[in-house]
Amino acid sequence: MSEASAHALEHHEPETSTGIPNKKVLMWAFLGSDCMFFGTLISTHLIYRKISATVGGNTLDVRDIFDIELTSFSTFILLASSLFMALAVSAIHKGNLSSTRWMLFGTIIFGAIFLACQVYEFTHFVHVPGNELTLSSYRGEPHVFGSTFYVLTGTHGTHVAIGVFWLIGWFVYSFTGKMSTADALDIECCGLYWHFVDIVWILIFPVVYLMEYAF
């Protein structure tokens, strides 16, 4: 990038009262709001897990359907994707475009693997022989576990999917030759979102999956 255009961009980056860029404040406000989205969903799940703990007279034991090895693997993959994201943000700040591109690519791939695991989970759980978990029933009996489980993890999956599409947008953009350190702020905001979605999964994984194995 030439010095002249760098100057022009500097001129148009407005000074803010706090010194924090506007987009970052926006992103943090959105993440605060998103906490309440997931807070509502997770509370719904936990409340129903406690008060609807039986199905057809027997204790509800979802260990029969969960595939904890697979979910642990996908959790690891999602956490690892955060490393790529952090490296991508660091690279764009340093102006290393090629590194940014491939770190973004790594984040996309790991995000996609996580989504693929979730798609497998969803399609598999509905058909576990004798233990079908659908949106409205478990083993053919009406139950609310499927409702809360699918809607909670599905909302998280939707967040991951939106993040993946956002990252794909950046990845494609990196080939246009227009990407520069001026985009660092936007990529950093994308990173904030991605890390947040990871943190939410760090909460969901123990609360929805691991706790089923604790007792």
Partner 1 sequence: MATESIKYLTPETETKLKSKAFPRPHQNTSGIVNWLTTIDHKKIGVMYGLAALFFLILGGVEALLIRSQLWNHNMEVLSNREYNQMFTMHGTTMVFLVIMPLSAAFFNFIMPLQIGARDVAFPRMNTLSLWCFIAGGITLNLSWFFTGGSPAIGWFGYAPLTDTRFAEVIGDMGPDFWIFSLQILGLASLLASFNFITTIINMRAPGMTMMRLPVFTWMTLIVSFLIILAFPAITIALVELMFDRTYGTNFYDFLEGGKPHLWQHLFWIFGHPEVYILILPAMGIVSEIIPVFSRKPLFGYGLIVFSGAIIGFMGFAVWSHHMFTTGMGIVATSAFSILTMLIAIPTGIKIFNWIGTMWGGRIRFETPMLFALGFITMFMVGGFTGIMHSSVPIDAQHQDSYFVVAHFHYVLIGGALFGLFAGFYFWLPKLTGKMLNEKLGKFVFTLMFIGFNVTFFPMHYLGMIGQPRRTHSYNEGHGFETWNQIATIGAFILGVGILIGVYQFVTAFFNKKLKDAGKNPWDARTLEWTLSSPVKEYNFARTPIIKSRDQAWENNYGPKENHSDKVPLDDHGVHMPDRSWYPLVSGLGFLGLVLGLLFHQSVDANTGEILRDYTYAIAGGSIAIFGIIMWSLEGPAGYHLFPKETEE
Binding site for partner 1 (CB under 8 A): 8-9, 11-12, 14, 16-18, 20, 22, 25-26, 29-30, 32-34, 36-37, 39-41, 44, 47-48, 51-52, 135-137, 142-144, 146-148, 150-151, 155, 169, 178
Q: Which is nearer to partner 1, 34 or 132 (CB)?
A: 34
Q: Which is nearer to partner 1, 11 or 69 (CB)?
A: 11
Residue 196 one-letter amino acid? F
Q: Which residues fall within 8 angstroms of residue 197, CB to CB, at 6 or more apart?
A: 156, 159, 160, 163
Instruction: Give the DSSP letter string of 115-175.
Output: HHHHHHHHHHHTT-TT--B-SSEETTEE-SHHHHHHHHHHHHHHHHHHHHHHHHHHHHHTT
CB 107 within 8 Å of CB 92: no
Q: How far is the CB of 117 from partner 1 (least distance, A)?
A: 22
Q: Which is nearer to partner 1, 46 or 80 (CB)?
A: 46
Q: How far is the CB of 177 from partner 1 (least distance, A)?
A: 11
Q: Which residues fall within 8 angstroms of residue 85, CB to CB, at 6 or more apart?
A: 103, 107, 191, 194, 195
Q: How far is the CB of 193 from partner 1 (least distance, A)?
A: 13
Q: Quote the DSSP letter at residue 206.
A: I
Q: How far is the CB of 69 from partner 1 (least distance, A)?
A: 28
List the structure tokens of 167: 């990252």
Q: Which is nearer to partner 1, 95 or 169 (CB)?
A: 169
Q: How far is the CB of 115 from partner 1 (least distance, A)?
A: 18
Q: Which is nearer to partner 1, 9 or 116 (CB)?
A: 9
